[in-house]
Amino acid sequence: MYFQYYLMGIILLPGLLLATFAQFKVKSTYSKYRNIYSSCGLTACDFIKRLMSATDTNYLQIRCINGHLTDHYNPSKEEICLSQDVYSSSSVAALGIACHEFGHALQKKEKYLPYQIRRILVPITNFASTLLWPLVVIGLIFNFGVEAGGITGDIFLWSGIIVFGLSVLFNLATLPVEFNASRRAVKILKASGTLTEDEIDGTKKVLTAAALTYVAALVVSILNLLRFLLVVLARTRRD
């Protein structure tokens, strides 16, 4: 029995190692290319403004936000949010990151199917994740949980499977969305002639490193689901 619990903990190790490596890769790659400035001299903000004019997306807003690598696209407010390091920088890394977020805006405008699927999954996954922990607490209060039988224990177990399953589904849906946004970014930069081939190569490395974090998130969610399934199987055998 103790071996099963050790296995349940160890099974997450490959995912955690991959996630740690992905974070290291992102930080090291970004640190390198944030100090390599593009030959065009345009800041990320100015370049996105040009793209907005060229693609009839002037309804978009560009906002400078706090934080490090906190860049994202806010679809509800139609905002491209760029961190301070990116917003006013003309580095190879900054232009690539800004174009990636602009790629998400184009996905929404063009109703890119994987993007729409992920947007549907966001509130569902968030709600399910929020619902899980109260069930865990209730299970503990009434002395149920994984090792206990009864309706409360079953609710907890099935809720866990559903939540972790949704997490896997969400992370799986995220991959094509992020990969597509990065491909769009590279295509935009090539078509605009803004960066040289060497500079575009640097941009690709930054975006590839960022994509690895999403791969790591998927692996961790899969291993979490597998670990929870092992808990359920162990409980079933005891019953």
Positions marked active-site:
101
Q: 149 phi and psi, to 5 degrees?
A: -90, -160
What is the 8-class DSSP label of residue 110?
A: T
Q: 91 phi and psi, to 5 degrees?
A: -75, 160
Give the whole-angstrom CA distance, residue 234 versus residue 143.
18
Tell me the CA end-to-end span of the chain in Å, nearest whole number: 14
Between the CA of residue 189 and those of 77, 212, 231, what are the distances in Å?
25, 21, 48
Q: 138 phi and psi, to 5 degrees?
A: -60, -40
Half-sphere exposure of 62 (CA within 13 A, CB side): 22
Give the whole-angstrom CA distance, residue 16 versus residue 238.
30
Q: 12 phi and psi, to 5 degrees?
A: -80, -15
Contact 226, 11 (CB under 8 A): yes
Give the whole-angstrom CA distance, residue 94 versus residue 32.
12
Contact 218, 168 (CB under 8 A): yes
Specify the residue for token string 């865990």. Answer: 136
